[in-house]
């Protein structure tokens, strides 16, 4: 299982579609213009014994071109990675001949970023058959955003900057500016997503501790953060008094205190966040049916199950919601 900083760095592109315009600009690519973003199945397995799974796979449908964007988070040099990247590009080009596969690697340190840019050559040393040259975003080309106006104008890039420069000596200033920009935003849903991705990406690092202190200082109130803090309390209590019981209690406390009693939207958001945090995959159909549910008791049962089960099938068993995820790549 990937760790949360790794997960957040590539999943920022899933949750913050506005990040694409900034990423294309930083990479020197033509602006994608107005585009629709669809999250695709990350599983590229073609023959059962060989499993290939990308970190994030997105379809970016622009006015005149459709891209299949592979986003890989790389934390260190890996001599075998080029072979996997070559497979990803070849597989998608063959499966979707009218769409353009593009490989983007995101890194948190400059040495890894410089290595990831390649070129990687596959074939005869004197005349390789394949050259792989990934696009790379890392500390050298992602700006350090310490200006409140710039952060407010491009919240997705400000979040990505904080994740990319989490070890930078200026991280305190970066996070102060990001917190202020979130506080002044008039889009509560965007604020919640940005703040939660930042918390997940910084995790238990010194920067993560600083971010939690900014939260505790009351700069802004976010349902996701409140629920996350209470989940941690539940986990700790579970270790002391019985892991599963403590976790369920902490989660229920987060559901009631963090989201407000009787608010279906808040309850559903907390349930989806819990599924994501525990690696429980929901198909689009399952997510839609859950979102349409108006039975408070049923949502609560799903919530408690999600604290202990491993799959969506177990969580939704016997409740009239499709149990098998749709694994079709779209």
Give the pLDDT confidence score for residue 232 in this predicted structure.
52
Burial 171-188 (b: 16+ CB within 10 A, else e): beebbbbbbbbbeebeee
What average pLDDT does the chain have? 78
State the Cα–Cα distance between residues 83 and 235, nearest whole angstrom: 39
pLDDT at residue 236 greater than cutoff 70: no
DSSP label at residue 43 = B
Which distant-in-sequence residues (6+ apart) come within 8 Å of 93 by Cβ? 101
Q: Is the torsion defined by CA of 162, 225, 56, 76 positive or negative?
A: positive
Can you read off the two tokens belonging to residue 66? 């459709």
pLDDT at residue 297 greater than cutoff 70: yes
Percent of the chain with pLDDT over 70: 75
Give the pLDDT confidence score for residue 4 in this predicted structure.
66
Give the pLDDT confidence score for residue 151 in this predicted structure.
94
What is the pTM assigned to this prediction?
0.59
Give the pLDDT confidence score for residue 328 in this predicted structure.
33
CB 20 within 8 A of CB 60: yes
Q: pLDDT (tens digit, 9 = 90+) per residue, 29-84?
A: 887 777 777 777 666 555 444 456 788 899 989 888 899 999 999 999 998 898 99
Q: pLDDT (tens digit, 9 = 90+) per residue, 164-202?
A: 999 898 999 999 999 889 888 888 888 888 888 888 888
Percent of the chain with pLDDT over 90: 28
> Three-state DSSP class for 128?
strand
Burial 33-44 (b: 16+ CB within 10 A, else e): eebebeebbbeb
């Amino acid at each position: 299982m990937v760790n949360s900083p790794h997960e957040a760095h590539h999943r920022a592109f899933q949750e913050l579609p506005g990040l694409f315009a900034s990423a294309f600009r930083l990479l020197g690519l033509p602006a994608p213009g107005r585009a629709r973003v669809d999250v695709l199945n990350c599983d590229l397995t073609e023959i059962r014994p060989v499993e290939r799974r990308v970190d994030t796979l997105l379809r970016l449908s622009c006015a005149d071109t459709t891209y299949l964007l592979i986003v890989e988070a790389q934390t260190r040099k890996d001599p075998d990675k080029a072979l996997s990247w070559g497979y990803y590009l070849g597989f998608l080009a063959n499966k979707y001949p009218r769409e353009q596969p593009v490989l983007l690697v995101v890194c948190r340190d400059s040495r890894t970023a410089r290595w990831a840019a390649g070129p990687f050559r596959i074939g005869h040393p004197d005349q390789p058959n394949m050259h792989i040259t990934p696009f790379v975003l890392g500390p050298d080309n992602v700006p350090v955003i310490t200006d409140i106006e710039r952060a407010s104008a491009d919240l997705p890039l400000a979040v990505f900057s904080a994740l990319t420069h989490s070890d930078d000596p200026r991280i305190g200033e970066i996070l102060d500016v990001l917190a202020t920009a979130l506080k002044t935003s008039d889009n509560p849903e965007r604020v919640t997503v940005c703040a939660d991705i930042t918390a997940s990406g910084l995790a238990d690092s010194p920067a993560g501790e600083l971010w939690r202190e900014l939260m505790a200082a009351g700069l802004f109130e976010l349902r996701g953060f409140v629920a996350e803090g209470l989940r941690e309390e539940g986990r700790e209590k579970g270790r002391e008094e019985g892991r599963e019981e403590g976790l369920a209690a902490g989660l229920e406390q987060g559901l009631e205190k963090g989201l407000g009693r009787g608010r279906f939207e808040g309850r559903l958001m907390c349930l989806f966040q819990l599924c994501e945090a525990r690696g429980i995959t929901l198909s689009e159909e399952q997510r839609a049916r859950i979102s349409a549910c108006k039975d408070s008791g049923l949502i609560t049962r799903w919530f408690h199950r999600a604290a202990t089960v491993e799959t969506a099938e177990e969580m939704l068993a016997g409740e009239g919601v499709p149990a098998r995820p749709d694994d079709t790549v779209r």
